[in-house]
Amino acid sequence: MRSLWMLTLANYRSFVRDRAALFWTLAFPVIFVVLFGTIFSGSEAPEYRIGWVDRDGTPAATQLRDAVTATTILVPTDVTDDAAAEAAMRDGDLDGIVVVPSGLGEAFAAGSAGGEVEPIALLVTTDPSRQTASAAIGQTLAGVAGAVNLQLSGGRPVLVVEGRAIQADELNGASYFVPSILAMALMQLGVFAAIPLVALREKLVLKRLAATPLSRGTLVGGNVTVRLLIAAVQTVIIVGLGVLAFQVVIVGGPLAVAFLVVLGAVTFIALGYVIASFTKTEEAANGVTQFVQLPMMFLSGIFFPLELLPEWLRGLALLMPLTYLGDALRQVMVGGVPFMPLPVDVAVLAGWLVGCVAISARYFRWQ
């Protein structure tokens, strides 16, 4: 136990004293968040007035209204008449309109009972010419819907958000980028683990350690532990920056987010060990790592949604574990539109994890 702690400490010290590693794992994702956050969030006040048309009238609808109010980004005003609401929107008194369809209460009740439910849709009207407002309203509502779904049915879609502006502008906004860039950062943290590992082997440090009673399990444990700690730091920095500087609303519970962060980090660390299994020199590990991480960075829906990719590239994206981590984090953290059902994302990541561990166990050489 003491040797695990000392090894973790040694790995931590080696990491923080390596400027390049620090840059890639901490500064690089922060730069992206700031860059995209600044580009895609305007200078408008982050508070939007929406007309609230309640055609359901059950307590569930009232709770939903309270949840929307609680975001502090949307300020609902009750309106009974669609036409009046549209007029108010044209006059600039409202930034958008939300119609709660009748049957919401029933659908919620059925959803929480665990039955199969036809998803019920909130109808949202926004002004597509006001990009930032449209995006903010759409994403905030999507976030609320995501939280409701998580609470009611563990994430199966009971409540969805419909509206042109939302679909089209999904890309625009820090809400999309924060979970995506967190996924990217975790991916890089993991696969870059290959480089110091290969360097230690090349310099015969691993061989020297093999001459001590230290078990290989402890050696790997120290390595993984320190990377998980760094993953936690990355998560706090990236999410904190998104929430404080770019008004991103995190709807997922901390446990669900932590689960995905750990699963993602461990999966990509295992991928790093696979890379280390097939490279002999530090330079080779460097090259292979870039070869693995760059396509993932650009094709896994990190910088633009997968729907925008041509068919054949989307097929490629489906092969990449980062696609599933990004999708899962967007769903859970900001209620993003699912590319895959959440259980599929988790299952694919778990599959990659098991596969990578098996390959490393078979092919990784200590000397």
Contact footprint for other proteins (CB under 8 A): 2-3, 5-7, 9-10, 13-14, 17-18, 200, 203-205, 207-208, 210-214, 367
Q: Decide whether 45 or 211 has the Cβ nearer to other proteins.
A: 211
Minimal distance, residue 16 CB to other proteins, in Å: 9
Scanning the chain, the segments in alpha helix (DSSP H) are: 2-16, 19-22, 28-40, 59-70, 82-91, 104-113, 131-153, 164-169, 174-191, 194-202, 205-210, 216-246, 254-277, 282-299, 311-318, 321-334, 342-363
- Residue 51's beta-bridge partner residues? 77, 97
Minimal distance, residue 14 CB to other proteins, in Å: 4
Minimal distance, residue 226 CB to other proteins, in Å: 13
Minimal distance, residue 212 CB to other proteins, in Å: 4
DSSP 295-345: HHHHHSSSSS-GGGS-HHHHHHHHT-HHHHHHHHHHHHHH-PPPSS-HHHH
Minimal distance, residue 2 CB to other proteins, in Å: 5
The pair phi, psi for residue 336, each rounded to 5°, is -65, 155
How much is the CA Rg of the chain, to the nearest whole Å?
23
Q: Decide whether 150 or 200 has the Cβ nearer to other proteins.
A: 200
Q: Decide whether 17 or 362 has the Cβ nearer to other proteins.
A: 17
Q: Decide whether 187 or 200 has the Cβ nearer to other proteins.
A: 200
Q: Decide whether 6 or 27 has the Cβ nearer to other proteins.
A: 6
Q: Decide whether 22 or 316 has the Cβ nearer to other proteins.
A: 22
Cα separation, 168 vs 220, in Å, equals 45
Scanning 192-215, the segments in alpha helix (DSSP H) are: 194-202, 205-210
CB-based burial label for 322 (10 Å; 0-12, 13-18, 19+): buried
How many residues can be counted in the chain?
367
Minimal distance, residue 273 CB to other proteins, in Å: 19
Q: Decide whether 20 or 255 has the Cβ nearer to other proteins.
A: 20
Minimal distance, residue 129 CB to other proteins, in Å: 55
Cα separation, 15 vs 357, in Å, equals 23
